[in-house]
């Protein structure tokens, strides 16, 4: 079925033919249509993909509900007498689903309003410039592969959707589990651990790597682990998973070394894999690597006129990365010659309590890149920030810079610091020196001031204590 855009139902030839309508695919479609190109978007599910329906948006809605629960539970420290009677998961899910529904409705209207043709069904690449859906072949002068990702498991670990679940199952739970083992201490694992702890569950994170959120600066990991411990979240880092058995009450998870952790549920959060298998990519000669599609800095595959964006391209699996790549490809096809995306400049946020946010290089990578004597760091404690004291949150802003040069990394931990990453991205992206940022006026009292104070200190003008 094709919805009516500016094309007729019989029309099967397009300027831009996009396979997948997640963040990367729909952004590419909207921008290409805006630039006057004739666009078709092939999608077997709902417009918006993982991010809108089973990823970023519903997860962050749960995290906001968790923040409300914590506010009620801890209200007396603010002089407010309130009690937390419990978590109504039906109500939480209704709120979450309402957010998703409104955004989905808005996106559907946008796509229709731009005259993008939507082809509903599972598409397969059947030629260099051809995608076949339910027996009908569609062609494009340019083809964009944007088929997204799925929740990975481990060899021998069977996800049953009942006791052993993925993030997609977790979003549909109709109860708060009494206890959970979270397998994986990355972004997804830490976010769900944070939600369930706020909702009252006993939580144990099992992570094979030496620390939680191992892709972040080591200092950020340490603060997150310390705060999680205070919240009662147990973290078994440097501990590989061995096996799981179902029990009368839930699961018994055996760790390497023989320890057994029992819980009601096991959440498998060991990362996401690319959705490329069986879609014809290999057969058409698309260059692949461990299931991912290889591209150059301009999102081009090895096939002329075929691009790839989002989670199927090696690198950060983030909705905003795919979104920006989609816009980039549309502009590239339209001949606008956009500037390639700096992958290191893509902001990263873990929306747990506390949040972890960063952009640019961490300290270890900067030292490996430029040399120990060519890197300086400064850490500003949020204890000196008025708004953070008001919010009762702890953490820091850590700056990494080349000696007497630009800031090459910004790392933050604390509630709501994800909202600060925009300015941090500008500082990194514009290769600002501390002396460039220090004169900027930051409103008081805001957490944004912490960025200003950190740069004042790095510029040798510290007004408040820092470490």
Residues labelled catalytic? 444
Question: What are the two backbone dihedrals, phi and then psi, of residue 151, each rounded to the nearest 5 degrees?
Answer: -75, 120
10 Å CB burial of residue 320 (0-12, 13-18, 19+) is middle
Q: Which residues contact 152 (CB under 8 A, 6 or more apart)?
A: 268, 270, 271, 272, 273
Distance CA 9, CA 360 (A): 46
φ/ψ bin of 103: left (φ > 0), alpha (ψ from -120 to 50), beta (otherwise): alpha
Q: Is 266 helix (H, G, I), strand (E, B) or coil?
A: strand
Residue 413 to residues 185, 196, 378, 417, Cα–Cα distance (Å): 16, 20, 14, 6
State the Rg of the chain over Cα.
Answer: 24
Q: Report yes or no: 75 and 82 within 8 Å, Cβ to Cβ.
A: yes
- Measured between alpha carbons, how far is residue 233 from residues 167, 194, 244, 344 in Å? 18, 8, 20, 31
Give phi and psi for 283, each to the nearest 5: -60, -30
CA distances 175 to 27, 86, 171, 199, 231, Å, are 35, 11, 11, 10, 21
Of 176, 170, 171, 192, nearest to 86 (Cα)?
A: 176
Residue 200: Cβ-neighbour burial (10 angstroms; 0-12, 13-18, 19+): middle
């Amino acid at each position: 079925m094709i919805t009516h855009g500016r094309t007729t139902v019989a029309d099967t030839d397009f300027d831009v033919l996009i396979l997948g309508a997640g963040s990367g695919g729909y952004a590419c479609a909207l921008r290409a249509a805006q630039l006057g190109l004739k666009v078709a978007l092939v999608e077997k599910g709902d417009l918006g993909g993982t991010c809108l329906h089973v990823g970023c948006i519903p997860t962050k809605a749960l995290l906001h509900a968790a923040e409300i629960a914590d506010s009620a539970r801890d209200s007396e420290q603010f002089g407010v007498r309130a009690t937390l009677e419990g978590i109504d998961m039906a109500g939480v899910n209704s709120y979450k689903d309402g957010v998703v529904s409104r955004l989905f409705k808005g996106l559907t209207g946008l796509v229709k309003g731009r005259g993008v043709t939507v082809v509903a069904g599972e598409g397969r690449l059947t030629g260099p410039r051809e995608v076949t859906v339910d027996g009908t072949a569609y062609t494009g002068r340019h083809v964009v592969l944007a088929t997204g990702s799925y929740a990975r498991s481990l060899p021998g670990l069977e996800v049953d959707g009942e006791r052993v679940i993925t993030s997609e199952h977790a979003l549909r739970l109709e109860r708060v589990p009494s206890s959970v083992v979270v397998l994986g201490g990355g972004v997804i694992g830490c976010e769900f651990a944070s939600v369930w702890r706020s909702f009252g569950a006993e939580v144990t994170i099992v992570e094979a790597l030496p620390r939680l959120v191992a892709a972040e600066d080591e200092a950020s990991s340490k603060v997150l682990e310390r705060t999680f411990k205070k919240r009662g979240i147990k973290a078994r880092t440097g501990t590989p998973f061995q096996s799981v058995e179902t029990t009368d009450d839930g699961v018994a998870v055996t760790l390497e070394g023989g320890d057994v952790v029992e819980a009601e549920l096991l959440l498998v959060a060991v990362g996401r894999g690319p959705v490329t298998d069986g879609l014809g990519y290999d057969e058409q000669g698309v260059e692949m690597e461990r299931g991912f599609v290889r591209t150059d800095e301009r999102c081009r595959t090895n096939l002329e006129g075929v691009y790839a964006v989002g989670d199927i391209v090696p690198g950060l699996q983030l909705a905003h990365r795919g979104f920006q790549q989609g816009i980039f490809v549309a502009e590239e096809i339209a001949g606008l010659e956009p500037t390639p995306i700096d992958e290191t400049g893509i902001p990263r946020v873990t929306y747990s309590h506390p949040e972890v946010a960063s952009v640019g290089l961490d300290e270890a990578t900067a030292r490996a890149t430029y040399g120990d004597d060519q890197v300086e760091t400064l850490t500003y404690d949020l204890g000196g920030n008025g708004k953070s004291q008001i919010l009762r949150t702890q953490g820091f802003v850590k700056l990494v810079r080349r000696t007497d040069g630009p800031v090459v990394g910004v790392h933050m931990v604390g509630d709501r610091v994800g909202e600060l990453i925009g300015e941090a991205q500008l500082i990194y992206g514009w290769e600002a020196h501390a002396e460039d940022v220090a004169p900027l006026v930051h409103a008081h009292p805001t957490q944004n001031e912490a960025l200003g104070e950190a740069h004042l200190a790095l510029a040798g003008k510290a007004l408040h204590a820092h470490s």
